[in-house]
Structure 1
Amino acid sequence: MNDPLSCLRARTSALHRQLEACPAFSRLTRDDVSPTEVTKALSIFHAFYHGLEDELMRRLAATPFAHLYRPRRALLAVDLATLGAPLPVAAEVNLPESAVGLLGVVYAVEGSALGGQVLGRHLCRCLGEDFAGSLAYFNAFAGGTHWQLLLRVLTDKLHEENAVDAVGDGAALVFSSLIRLATETGPA
């Protein structure tokens, strides 16, 4: 496999599948998904971004990648308030040291926005437009060319020595942190 992006995807695919299999997240894809299950998943995401976002944005500001990250914590806070749920405590998230590792974090997070769009449409079908259409987290990043921009920057960077490993480590941090949080919170 000579394509660095394919190597990166292969390197992170097992953790990505493991994350999707976590009950807190896999339940979102079921036809009988409940508002309680959506609230639980959003709470996990908020805890993650609350522990990640300020430091990530501070550290990204010193890199050429700052423009690639779109904040999410405030969106999740609005959604949780709309659902009448308390804001969870920030999770402990340790960021990679290198700028390229931070790019891996951005890659995993921004990639999740694509899945979030699919989930948003599914939730609208299952729970109705009034409920799911009001959730900013699943709807805020629909459309646009942001993902293509990120892939162009990422593809250029992946050709550098050891970049696939560093980016892969950053992406793995996102997946493993969310898996840990989902496991710690238990079933919905």
Structure 2
Amino acid sequence: MESDSSVTLAYWLKQETQADHHRVDHHPALRALLRPNVTMATYGAALACLYPAIAGLENALSQAIEKRNSRYALTLREPLLRHDLTQLNQPLLPAWCFAVPASVYEMVGMLYVLEGSRLGGEVIGRHAKRCLGEQIPCRFFTETPLTPAGWAGFWCFAEAICPSGSWPQILRGAQQAFSGFTKALTDSLPATTTPPLALVPTE
């Protein structure tokens, strides 16, 4: 791949995945969490939708990191989400089956999706507490925030092991993760005609 040496991997990957970001950010399960009139029922149902995506993506990346003897310290949030769902009396749906990345470069792309989700989670957590109270089960969104240093550390790791020629493989891994994440959310939506969550147009 030929690339402008002044363009960083972070900038390039964000630009190339804009549509993927949009599809996830505007998914009904996540949009429901940011409604001004979010209820406890909606909050619980939306978290239940998130579980298969988070658990599945963490499983795939944990396997990849172990297989490749990577030194990347993955922050596992599945136990926090499981705790919140238990407190909310919500079911634990099966983890989505994400393909284990075929290369270290695809692994970096998938990590980009998982780690980046922590940024949006902070916004959701703050909103949920404002609407529903400080005591709501919210460890998944608030207990392991992605600090600026942590986000910078991810990019240092990525840039150290990914030459510019590997960028298309990184993009492929990211897009595969985004696609699986979106499908996992959609398949987990409650099958009901009287939602707290409904599959409605997202535009």
Q: TM-score if structure 1 supplies the norm length?
A: 0.88
Aligned counterpart, 2:200: none
From the superposition, tell whether residues 185 and 143 of structure 1 become closer, same or farther in structure 2 (CA, over 3 Å): closer
Give distance in 1, aligned partners of 2:177 and 2:41. 24
Secondary structure (helix, strand or coil) at the match of 1:67 reads coil
> Can you give the 5+ residue segments of structure 2 that lack an aligned partner in the other structure?
190-194, 198-203
Give distance in 2, aligned partners of 1:29 and 1:153. 32
Give distance in 1, aligned partners of 2:138 and 2:69. 31
Secondary structure (helix, strand or coil) at the match of 1:170 reads helix
Q: Which has the higher helix share?
A: 1
Aligned counterpart, 1:106: 111
Looking at CA atoms only, which structure, 1 or 2, has the larger radius of gyration? 2
Aligned counterpart, 1:57: 62
The percent identity for this pair of structures is 28
What is the one-letter code of the residue matched to 2:63? R
What is the one-letter code of the residue matched to 1:111? G
Deviations 1:144-175 (A, max 9, x none): 422110022223344331x2211212221222
Aligned counterpart, 1:183: 186
Aligned counterpart, 2:130: 125
Secondary structure (helix, strand or coil) at the match of 2:89 reads coil
Aligned counterpart, 1:154: 158
> How many residues end up aligned between the 2 structures?
185
Instruction: For residue 109 of structure 1, report the CA deviation from its aligned partner.
Output: 0.6
Give distance in 2, aligned partners of 1:53 and 1:159. 25
Q: TM-score if structure 2 supplies the norm length?
A: 0.82
Give distance in 2, aligned partners of 1:99 and 1:158. 8
Secondary structure (helix, strand or coil) at the match of 1:48 reads helix
Aligned counterpart, 2:77: 72
RMSD over equivalenced CA pairs, Å: 2.0
- More divergent stretch after superposition (122-131 vs 32-41): 32-41
Aligned counterpart, 2:171: 168
Deviations 1:7-49 (A, max 9, x none): 1111111011011111111111111112222222222221123
What is the one-letter code of the residue matched to 2:52? A
What is the one-letter code of the residue matched to 1:149? G
Answer yes or no: is the 8 Å Cα contact 2:110–2:173 preserved in 1.
yes
Task: Could you list the structure 1 runs, at least 4 aligned residues long, displaced by more than 6 angstroms after superposition.
Answer: none
Answer yes or no: is the 8 Å Cα contact 1:42–1:80 preserved in 2.
yes
From the superposition, tell whether residues 120 and 152 of structure 1 become closer, same or farther in structure 2 (CA, over 3 Å): same
